[in-house]
Amino acid sequence: MVLSRGAFDPQPIIAAVLRGETDLFRLLVREYGLFVRGYLAARLHHLEDVDDVAQEVFLVAFDRLNTCDPAHFRQWLIGIAKNELREHWRKQSRRAAAMDRFREEVATVVEVEVDASFRLLRAEHIERLLDCISRLPDRVRRIVRAGLDGVRADELADELGMHRNAIYQARFRGFAALRKCMETGGLDMLDLSNGESAR
């Protein structure tokens, strides 16, 4: 049945397996296992995939042993290995596509939630800023709002009857007060009035 390592004859073993001596199939696995794994290893990236696909090759070979030509058993095994490789790649492709869809779905959900959180945070931030502006003294509030609206200091100085430097100083104090208000909710620690008191 087995003359030497270089003259292995699978035909008697195949015949015996087909007669019911199924445990002898292990001799075929032992003889051709390295050959099949080498063929697969040249085409797969991961060792665990090589072992998995090789196992499938021999399972299929056992199930279909009655269809093989014993004189061309090696070529028949390679044909099975090619089919199992294609099936493995199809599964990998489907798995990768499913993972890509999953990532896209997660990204969409996260993006929607982040966008909603940002809008809520932005709305709260704007509401708080407007509340802080409303708590400034009248003249300082006018100067700050004019700055936010892009009104030039020269125009505002003429309107309020103030020197331009006084506008700059009042605007600086106003913005400093707003920063404090946004952080702590209070304006009482800063002198904004120049004769005016915060309302």
Residue 67 pLDDT: 93
Q: Residue 88: pLDDT above 60?
A: yes
25 vs 13, 21, 58, CA distance in Å?
Answer: 7, 8, 9
Q: Are 66 and 76 in contact (CB under 8 A)?
A: no
Cα(153)–Cα(144) distance, rounded to whole angstroms?
Answer: 11
In the structure encoding, which two tokens stand for residue 186, read together? Answer: 């209070």
Q: Are 8 and 31 in contact (CB under 8 A)?
A: yes
5-97, CATH topology level: Rna Polymerase Sigma Factor; Chain: A (1.10.1740)
3-state secondary structure of 2: strand
Structure confidence at residue 2 as a pLDDT band (50, 70, 90): very low
Q: Other C-beta atoms within 10 Å of 149: how many? A: 7
Residue 163 pLDDT: 84
Burial (CB < 10 A; 0-12, 13-18, 19+), residue 88, is middle
Cα(13)–Cα(73) distance, rounded to whole angstroms?
Answer: 11
Cα(88)–Cα(18) distance, rounded to whole angstroms?
Answer: 28
Structure confidence at residue 196 as a pLDDT band (50, 70, 90): very low
Structure confidence at residue 4 as a pLDDT band (50, 70, 90): very low
Domain segments of the chain as ranges? 5-97, 135-199
Give percent of the chain with pLDDT exceeding 90. 29
Q: Residue 117: pLDDT above 60?
A: no
Residue 3 pLDDT: 40
Q: Are 167 and 143 in contact (CB under 8 A)?
A: yes
**Average model confidence (pLDDT) for the chain?**
78
pLDDT digit string, tens, across residues 95-109: 777 766 666 665 565
